[in-house]
Structure 1
């Protein structure tokens, strides 16, 4: 990370024209290795389930299996990957696994694409809200 920061600093000195730092800082808040807004929003969104892994440097969040108390015959597991330092829709990937109880064990079941899309939308909306709030303070 230090090497990347030094390299970016030396590149910024080249060229003579200054980049608008406010816009860059707004979309690239990366004190933890990935976009901080996406990271915090993703953690908040999957807080309903216990975490197995949360690697802020690599941008990966993996939950353990979670069964909704109102539907104990079904459980889900979510993986969120933050792919970029920018706050953009294509910087986020969500994957989900679903299992249903059957014959005394758990059997894999399909996850509706709309479910994954809804999780992505929630994370992106929260990230944008966090970004807006950071400018108001």
Structure 2
């Protein structure tokens, strides 16, 4: 249990930065809109979410509906724990509130999977990792 949680925390902490001023403040005429409108969500956020969650198998990937859902994922050091993620895209703009991550964690007890609490910071750290990756992609595209 603690090994899996520690693995998730290390992953998310290593990928994340604070979202408070991640994309700068105010409207300075910068293009924070979608990289493309064909998929219905912000292209930078979409690709950043796929990149950030690439270590997990995907179950549902719907750009037109603005949702990514993973299959259950376990690690070898914690086979009796598993995690499933859902990412919802809340805006077509590249904004810190443009993505929301939902985390479900289960533990196996007596052969039955039971849903157990997740630390509140886990979803926030994943959101921050996605936002940081999107920011990096936008900066790279501008250069």
TM-score scaled by length of structure 2: 0.76
Match of 1:57 among 51, 64, 71: 64
Deviant stretches of 4+, over 4 Å: none
Q: Secondary structure at the match of 2:104?
A: strand
Larger helix proportion of the pair: 1
Write the mapping of 1:2-81 to structure 2, written as runs, cut at 5 A.
23-24=30-31, 26-31=32-37, 32-81=39-88
Find the aligned partners of 1:108 and 1:123 in 2 and give their Cα distance.
25
- Tell me, which stretches of 5 or more residues in structure 2 are unaligned? 1-28
User: Greater Rg, structure 1 or structure 2?
Assistant: 1
Deviation at 1:27? 3.0
Number of matched residues? 114
Partner residue in 2 for 1:8: none
Superposition CA RMSD, Å: 1.3
Find the aligned partners of 2:110 and 2:124 in 1 and give their Cα distance.
31
Find the aligned partners of 2:47 and 2:76 in 1 and give their Cα distance.
26
Deviation at 1:28? 2.7
For CA contacts below 8 A with separation 6 or more, give which structure has more relative contact order: 2
Find the aligned partners of 1:105 and 1:54 in 2 and give their Cα distance.
28
